[in-house]
Every structure is written in structure tokens, then in C-alpha cells.
Structure 1
Amino acid sequence: MHEEITGIILAGGRATRMGGEDKGLVPIADIPLYQYVLARLRPQVGPIAINANRNQARYRESGLPIIGDLIPDFSGPLAGMLAGLKYATTEWVAFVPCDVPDFPATLIEKLWQQKGSAIAAYASDGERAHPTLALLHTSLATPLEHYLARGERKLMLFLDAARAQQVEFKGQQSAFHNINTLEDCQRWVKEKGIIHE
């Protein structure tokens, strides 16, 4: 566990492919999806908060701090990342989206070990980059604020500009599958053998 790293669960999206339903709160075996992500993240970091813009009271039931985007009506994960960087009291912040419940149990450790001297690192499965699974130094808050103020929105462009280190998790493609639709939910439940009580 890295106590010196704050963990942020990104649950601020609009979930258009879920019919607008709050993705993190979609129940799987009567447990909200974000809780599976939280269980995966908890052993890997120190303090944890959730970035959410809707249904904050329901996320608050987790007992965790809830932080909203600092930029209203923003589409994309960067506003949530900025909120997380500004919220954290640690030097480093790890981000995971609320819809990737199987991300590697070694995610934070490997990003930390392989970032080298970079002030940002993000995951790749060897075929695709997964920039929302990332480790960022809080010094990136100001450049990110300026980037967004210019109207920029692309996460990968920002990470490239920050000279982020891509860290490969070879042969772990399935760990990065995100749950976008109710069909994805059902498939995941079946794969995991999760039983509805």
C-alpha cells in the first residue's frame, strides 16, 4: 500500500451509453459498481475520495469525501482529475474510473515503480492506452488548469505534453475492460460468478 498516494475514483461522467444512468451507481448483485472499484483500490493507496457531480448523497454513503468538478458542465475526465489534484494533500494522486472493476491489483505499485523521473504515468495493456488509470504529481494541477482554460479537452494530449510515462501491463487486456452498457454488466456478473442474493 502506498499511503503517500491519494486515490481518486472518477465517477463524474455523463454515462451516455448507460442511458444517462449514473454508471458508478449501477447495481451489480445489489452493490453499486463503484464499490467494486473501491475494493480494488483500497489496498493500493492511502486516502481515497470520489469525484462525482450527480447523486453525491448516494456516493457519500461510502463514508468517503466526495469532490465535484471545479468546471461546470464539463465532458470528459480531465475536470475530475483537476479536482482530484487540487483536493489531495499528498504529492501524488492515482486515478481510476468507476467502470473498470478488474483493473490490476498491482496497478499503483507498477505505475509508481516504472514512472522513473516522470511526473505522470498511465497504464497500457500492450494494445491500447488507458489514460484514466494514471498516477499524477500534484504539480500538474496548474498546467492542467491552463490547458482546460484554453478549451483543450483531450487527456492523451495533456499526458503527452506532461511527458507521462506509459506503463505496460502485458497480457492483461481483460483487466482493463470497462462496463459501458447493461449488457457489459450482465457479462461481467456471469464471468465473475457473482450471485444475486
Structure 2
Amino acid sequence: MKQPLGVILAGGLATRMGGGDKGLLQLGGKSLLAHVVDRLGSQVDGLALNANGDPARFAGLDLPVLPDTIDGFAGPLAGVLAGLDWAAEEGADCIVTAAADTPFFPRDLVARLLQAAEGQSQPLVLATTPRTGDNTLKSGGGKRINRHPTFGLWPVALRDDLRIGLKDGLRKVVLWTDKHNGREALFSAEPFDPFFNVNTPDDLNRAKDLLERA
């Protein structure tokens, strides 16, 4: 398998932050997006940004900006599809996605996703972390997990199937990944969940506290 391309998902509406681009919020002297670019860029063979609206606001990142091709803010799967279409044009076999508001995700994300996909004809893997509580999912091994649907390995070969699903109203990531026998890569949640994302002003303050430990 070729080294995947990377796609940062920044197409959301950021309603809990009052709108705008969460990825452009400042953390430790640079934007959340810059943190994500630094972490993902070194793990992939090329990088693009999925975002809607005027791409000029991201000019400082020097990345291709891929708008959704499905109307109506169809959620992260629309960003995945935009990334898969771009990857197809680039001759890649798969992409790895990361959320634009998650600055501390693992530095071995791509390697671990690829490892979990070994033996799959169509590599499809979501990142997970352990979780406790009654409303959690159970992995094949019976462990309670939290799936992180914006962090995954996605095959270009399934892009047309995804396109059809989105046009038919598909929005939940795990419904589509489960349909295609998607797997899970389990990451440690110690000393904190590395997939912690900034949704609110309080989250941004917490991220500032976590920055020194990341």
C-alpha cells in the first residue's frame, strides 16, 4: 500500500464557538490548524484541507483547499468524500483524515491506522480510545471504546459508494464504516484523550493547559 495522503476536516459550522473557523483560533502562538498541519503533515505523503467558503482565509497554510461536493453541510463524511476525490486525482490509494480542532492527536496516528488495516482489501479504520460508562460501544474484544469518526483511514476505491450514500441521506460515519467491515485502532487515553477537540471557549482554555503536556 502506498503512503496515504492526509486531509484535515474543517468544514463544520462551529456553532458552539459562535460560528467561524475554529481552526484559526490561537493556541500557544499559532492556530489550531497549524498544530494539526504539523502533526499530520509529517505522517503522510501530501496534505489538503477540506473547508467551505472563501479559501483565501487559509492562504497562509499553503495547502489545497477542498470544498464539500455535497450540498447542505452533510457532516464529516462529505469532507471525507472531497478528500477521496482529490486523492483519486493524485493517484493515491487512501487518505487519513484528522479534525481541524484537535491539536493533540497521536504522532503515530497514520502508522497505527495502517497497522490495523493489514489484510484488508479496502483499508477502512477508525481511531478509538478506551472509555467507561453505560452508553459506550464495545469493540470485538469486549472493551468499551469511544470511536473518533473524524480520524480514520479511508480507501479511494469506496468513494463512489460513499457518494451514493451521502446523496441518499447518509450522515452517520459509523453506519457506513460498519457496512464495509471497518476496523478500529485503539489508542491510549492517558494522561488525557489525545483526540480531545476544541468545541467551546472552555475547551480552548483547557487546550492551553494541556499544551505543555502534549
Matched, 1:156 2:156: no
Residue ranges of structure 2 left out of the alignment (5+ in a row): 132-145
Which residue, 97, 101, 104 being the options, matches 2:103? 101
**What is the SS of the residue equivalent to 1:132?**
strand
- The separation in 2 between residues aligned to 1:65 and 1:30, in whole angstroms, is 23
Which residue, 145, 153, 165 being the options, matches 1:135? 153
- The separation in 2 between residues aligned to 1:185 and 1:171, in whole angstroms, is 19
What's the TM-score, normalizing by structure 2?
A: 0.85
**What is the SS of the residue equivalent to 2:193?**
helix
1:72-107 CA deviation, whole Å, 9 max, x = no partner? 222310111100000012111000000111001111
Matched, 1:120 2:119: no
- The separation in 1 between residues aligned to 2:110 and 2:40, in whole angstroms, is 9
Matched, 1:42 2:41: yes
Identity %: 36
**Runs ≥4 in structure 1, deviation > 4 angstroms?**
none
Q: Give the letter aligned to residue 176 of structure 1.
A: F
Alignment of 1:1-197 (within 5 A): 4-88=3-87, 89=90, 90-118=92-120, 119-127=123-131, 128-172=146-190, 173-193=192-212
Residue ranges of structure 1 left out of the alignment (5+ in a row): none
Give the drift of 1:59: 1.3
What's the TM-score, normalizing by structure 1?
A: 0.92
- The separation in 2 between residues aligned to 1:94 and 1:126, in whole angstroms, is 21
Task: Supply the RMSD in Å over aligned alpha carbons.
Answer: 1.7
- Judge conservation of contact 1:3–1:47 (CA < 8 Å) in 2: no
**What is the SS of the residue equivalent to 2:194?**
helix
- The separation in 1 between residues aligned to 2:153 and 2:67, in whole angstroms, is 19
- The separation in 1 between residues aligned to 2:188 and 2:211, in whole angstroms, is 21
